[in-house]
A and B are shown apart, each in its own frame.
Chain A
Amino acid sequence: MSIVTSNSYLESLLQGRPQLPAAFSSPALAWLKQLRANAVDRVAALTVPTTRDEEWRFTDISPLTKQSFQPVRAASRLQAADVERFYLGEAATRLVFVDGVYAPQLSSVARDLGMVVSNLSAAVSAHAAAIEPHLGRHTGFQDNVFAALNTAFLHDGALIVVPRNASVAVPVHLLFIATQKEAASYPRCLLVAESGSTVTVVEDYVALQEEAYFTNAVTEIALADNARVNHIRVQRDSGRAFHIANCAVSLAHASRYQSVSVALGARISRYNLNVLLAAEGAECAIDGLALIAERQLADTHTCIDHVKPHGTSRQLHKCIVGGAAHAVFNGKINVRPGAQRTDSSQSSRNLLLTGKAHVDTKPQLEIFADDVKCAHGATVGQLDNEEVFYLKSRGLSDVAARNLLTYAFGAEIIDRIPIASLKHRLEQTVLEQTTRQP
């Protein structure tokens, strides 16, 4: 595609940009207006990436630019009965966005939570001090057109601020529901975990119909000293949707970020996860599963950046690829000079279920410190014949044995989700998707 059409495409997207709500008009929020204006400038300067860009080598997103997606303005009329099947029993606190628009009638926030959970525009004035150092500061949009677009559209979103030493046992559910075809939505989440706090957040993308739409999400997570964040991300968009998301996490001293990301839906999805271990003793464990079939493409790019000494990172990323689907994993581990005693391990494991399934996996270690322990590995394969034989020798049919092993391959990641009902639901989904009829 030529640059001209790319730019006119971006311009057409920008035309749908909403005005800032009144809540943002205070002079104290001038920085936010400036942030949006900067983002608009970057969108104008950037182009939609093509497979000639190294970061997009394996992921051709040109189908996205062939359709016109515009934001939905009207508030949703959905009622709880329409969507409560997506609610999580364990998560009484819930923010719901329908086609990108906050839906207060579906959301549920208790008064005495001991933390801030709110849509951004309702809380931006009261919590400006907590928001300003973080919003738009972690996800760079200089060279990232999708992050720039999301920031240009910034007008609302999900805000979670966990105060110092607060330990919140109940998970927070951020539920993004797509209902309309050709809708573009720009979900934005900010999670600030102040020092010594603990919180679990589920970021969940679902669809009511099998339509084509475009989700372009940005999530920023800041952990202060000793904070603990558990982040579960589930992308179960429509099989015709486009889903592009950027998540940036910044870890201060001795903080710990754990995440499980599961990608099941979308025709084309791309998830960029950047984790910055910015201070000593920071720790992260990021696990992922992409389970795709037919002509789906799921691309996960992660970067774990060890800046200071004594950091620990663990990563297990798995792909189960059926049909003529295509999975991409690019996992970069950066150990900067001075990040001594870094302990890092990364594993990419991929299971191809058919002859037409395809995976590109690229672990990438860049180590500039000498006293570090870094291990990485990648495997691509079919089911192990010894494992299949073991199950058949116990009476299981060939199909049942293969289904069980495929299920197990995915369940190892799902098992790491600390919310029983979500875990169970996803296990069922994996079971259904991996069960071929005998």
Chain B
Amino acid sequence: MIYQDSKTLLEVRGLCATVQGVEILKGIDLTVRSGEVHALMGPNGSGKSTFAKALAGHPAYAVTGGAVLYEGKNLLELKPEERARAGVFLGFQYPIEIPGVANSQFLRLTYNTVQAQRGKDELDPLEFDDFVREKMKLLEMNPDFLDRSVNEGFSGGEKKRNEILQMALLEPRLAILDETDSGLDIDALRVVAHGVNRLATKDNAIVLVTHYQRMLNYIVPDYVHVMESGRIVKTGGKELALELERRGYDWVSVEQRAAAGAAA
């Protein structure tokens, strides 16, 4: 939601990035203020996921130009773990499985690590168990998932719930959710979207990276951005997503080329 007294959380200016020497991001501009929900849409290969990972500090993505300010500070000079502790959260498109580590153990470790860094109290296993079970209710997750290995043998929907559960625990100020809707059936989508909505406050912001409009029926964006070839080429309100759903992405490119031609 757009608030009058919001603060600028993220300011991206002309961000360029390469993967294995290939330029994928070619100058992204984006401003995200507290309280807002942004949807970042676009066809496959347009650079959406690269942008999400570059913001989280993935080492495979080399930033070659531009600037990213997070709460007024240079985000790019922080290590991935420092970004996480500072309140940047990336919900993974393909969450990693870690056989041999109980989910409860992992969740508590990440929670306590971030709490300690923020100068807050850590929780012992018993306290954490109560705390995490409460958060799991938000996502209608079976507590059995605490005893299983992290994401191992989880269905696509269960993995995504587990991602949002981590978001609920870590309470980020900027959550970037990369294709959180992929692999979800309609019931799981509703539950996950409901969870995300419950976590949205006037102090944090959410960037939804998605190919399809369907999640936006549940999490209503304030802004919809369309990416193409490593740039944001169109920005609109929530109705833009509906138009994309109806007409596909091609017309945006046509319009973009026409505009470029007119300018030339």
Chain A residues with a Cβ under 8 A of chain B? 384-387, 389-398, 400-401, 404-405, 407-412, 414-415
Contacts and interface: CB of A to CB of B under 8 A. Distances in A.
Contacts of A407: 100-101
27 contacts: A386-B96, A387-B96, A389-B59, A390-B95, A390-B96, A391-B110, A392-B57, A392-B81, A393-B57, A393-B80, A393-B81, A393-B89, A394-B84, A394-B113, A395-B114, A396-B81, A397-B81, A404-B101, A404-B106, A405-B98, A407-B101, A408-B98, A408-B100, A408-B149, A412-B99, A412-B100, A415-B100
Interface in B63-120: 79-81, 83-85, 89-90, 92, 95-96, 98-101, 106, 109-110, 113-114, 117
A403 to B, nearest CB: 10
Nearest to A386: B96
Which of B59, B83, B100 is the most central at the interface, judged by chain A CB atoms within 10 Å of its CB?
A: B100
A391 B57 CA distance: 12
B92 A410 contact: no
Contacts of A411: 100-101
A409 B84 contact: no
B19 interface: no
Interface string B145-172: 0000100000000000000001000100
Contacts of B106: 404
B60 interface: yes
A398 B81 contact: yes
Interface residues of B, number: 29
A407 B106 CA distance: 12
A329 to B, nearest CB: 19
A396 B60 CA distance: 18
A377 to B, nearest CB: 16
A387 B56 contact: no
Given A385-B60, A404-B109, A392 B80 contact: yes
A195 B223 CA distance: 71
Majority secondary structure of chain A interface residues (helix, strand, loop or mixed): helix
B113 A400 contact: yes
Nearest to B98: A408
Contacts of B85: 395
A392 B92 contact: no
Contact of B100 (A385, A389, A396, A410): A410
Nearest to B99: A412
B99 A408 contact: yes
B117 A395 contact: yes
Given A390-B95, A393-B89, 5 more contacts: A387-B96, A393-B80, A398-B81, A411-B101, A414-B100
A396 B96 contact: no
A404 B101 CA distance: 8
Contacts of B95: 390
Interface string B162-190: 00001000100000000000000000000
A131 B237 CA distance: 83
B58 interface: yes
B101 A395 contact: no
Residue of A387, A394, A396 with most partner-chain B CB within 10 A: A394
A385 B79 CA distance: 15
Contacts of B96: 384, 386-387, 390
A365 to B, nearest CB: 25
B110 A394 contact: yes
A405 to B, nearest CB: 7
B247 to A, nearest CB: 35
Given A385-B59, A389-B58, A390-B92, A395 B98 contact: no
Greatest chain B CB density within 10 A among A385, A395, A410, A412 is at A395
